Amino acid sequence: MSDDTGGSKVLEAVEAVRAKARGLMEATADRKALDDVRVALLGRKGELTAILKGMKDLAESERRKVGEAANALKGWIEEAIGSRLAELSRSEAEGAAGAPSGGPAPFDVTLPGTGRPAGSIHPVTAMRRKVEGIFAGMGFMVVDGPELESEFHNFVALNIPETHPARDMQDTFWCDDGQCLRTHTSPVQVRALIRYGAPIRMIAPGRCFRNESIDASHENTFFQVEGMMVDSEVSVANLIHVMKAMLSEVFGMDVDVRLRPGYFPFVEPGFELDMRCSICGGQGCPTCKRSGWVELVPCGMVHPNVLRHSGVDPDRFSGFAFGLGLTRLAMMSYRIGDIRVFNSGDLRALAGLGSASPQAV
């Protein structure tokens, strides 16, 4: 005979409470709802509490079985409430972060980006590229030389021996090993002649250095473009033609220039080609030292001694050379009144300059 005093029914009730508890907990949307579930199941008048209280009416043998099942369910419910509470706390925290009134706004992929300011080509680089293009069109090759130069290439081969007064005009920075920061791009004339021989048409853009006082038109670091054409019948007429062709290409129209005699130990005869100041239109300003003219292209016919130093026979070949002040050309072209802007790193001064079209004077 069975001694079932209702224990199997109570076990069924325990399982029914477990199923109900699972459903209720999954449906809870917040802490308050979860607490209500806890009270409904485990509170003083809760369903599981009622089962536990009713155990006293069961037979001894059933009480233990039902007790174990009911206590296991109690443990399960408490654990389930704990994990559901953790889930609810996490989503509440995420909701607060995304709420318009607290924390950063939620990420919206449809909003326009904040954008990054686009960089631009430095005006000196833009001008160098333009000049290279112009000379390439006239059959000149573009060559490069070292910024740290030997005394031979920077001075001696250019007809400026150690005691020559012309050295005073190009004071520079010397290394212990006798090399110097080149004062001009002219040493590349010598290097190119030694390497390629004559006939030759070349330009050599590059950085130069001088130890001198800085003002609106003088920097200790600036750019030049050296140019040279050596062939069997090159004359001053060729020099003038090439200079005018280059400047009118750069400025997009005929520019006002003047030639005056100039002295450089490595050319004979030597000239200074000046351009009417585009900053003041020739009225006089700090950039042109109030003269209305900016010294732009010193030039001349290559001195026979330079050809000799470079292994070229001056009886067979002649040529012209020039040293264009590239930084000053960029100043004129982009109407930048102070050379110090170029090395200042001030983006307000440089932004967009290099991508603008060069201005006619």
User: Toward ligand FA5, which CB reaches closer, 17 or 216?
Assistant: 216
CB of 186 to ligand FA5, least distance (A): 4
| Distance in angstroms (rounded) separating the CA atoms of residues 182 and 155 | 9
Q: Which residue has the tokens 């060729």?
A: 238
Residue pair 233/351 in contact by the 8 Å Cβ criterion: no
Taking the complex as a whole, the smallest distance from the CB of residue 189 to ligand FA5 amounts, in Å, to 7
Q: How far is the CB of 255 from ligand FA5 (least distance, A)?
A: 15
136 conformational bin, left if phi > 0, alpha if psi -120 to 50, beta if neither: alpha
Query: Please, are residues 171 and 210 in contact by the beta-carbon 8 Å criterion?
Result: yes
Q: Please, what is the minimum distance in Å from the beta carbon of residue 134 to ligand FA5?
A: 17
Nearer to ligand FA5, 21 or 203 (CB): 203
Tell me the closest approach of the beta carbon of residue 106 to ligand FA5, in angstroms: 55
The least CB distance from residue 273 to ligand FA5, in Å, is: 9
CA dihedral 156, 242, 208, 317 (to 10 degrees): -20
Report in angstroms how near the CB of residue 347 gets to ligand FA5 at its nearest: 22
Between 10 and 296, whose beta carbon lies closer to ligand FA5? 296
- Min. distance of Cβ 301 from ligand FA5 in angstroms? 9
- Which residue is nearest to ligand FA5, using beta carbons? 325
Q: Which two tokens stand for residue 283?
A: 């009225």
Q: Cα–Cα distance between 351 and 174 in angstroms, integer?
A: 34
Nearer to ligand FA5, 62 or 226 (CB): 226
Nearer CB in complex with ligand FA5: 41/330: 330
Only one residue has tokens 């991508």, namely 355
Calculate the alpha carbon distances from 176 to 145, 173, 180, 205, 230 in Å.
Answer: 21, 10, 9, 27, 35
Selection from 223, 220, 201 nearest residue 212 by Cα: 220
Please identify, using beta-carbon distances, which residue of 70 and 273 lies nearer to ligand FA5.
Answer: 273
Is residue 71 within a helix (H) or strand (E), and if so which, with residue range?
Answer: helix 60-98
In the complex with ligand FA5, which residue's Cβ is closer, 14 or 321? 321
Least Å distance between CB 356 and ligand FA5?
A: 21
Q: Which amino acid makes up residue 61? A: S
Q: Which residues of this chain interact with ligand FA5, rule CB under 6 A? A: 184, 186, 210, 212, 218-219, 222, 224, 264, 267, 270, 295-296, 298-300, 321-323, 325, 327-328, 339
Coil/strand/helix, residue 256: coil
Q: Are the CB atoms for 319 and 263 separated by under 8 Å?
A: no
Nearest to 205 by CA among 117, 155, 144: 144
- In the bound state with ligand FA5, the residue whose beta carbon lies nearer, of 25 and 332, is 332
Amino acid at 12: E
**Structure-token pair, residue 235:** 């004359």
For ligand FA5, which is the closer residue by CB, 135 or 322? Answer: 322
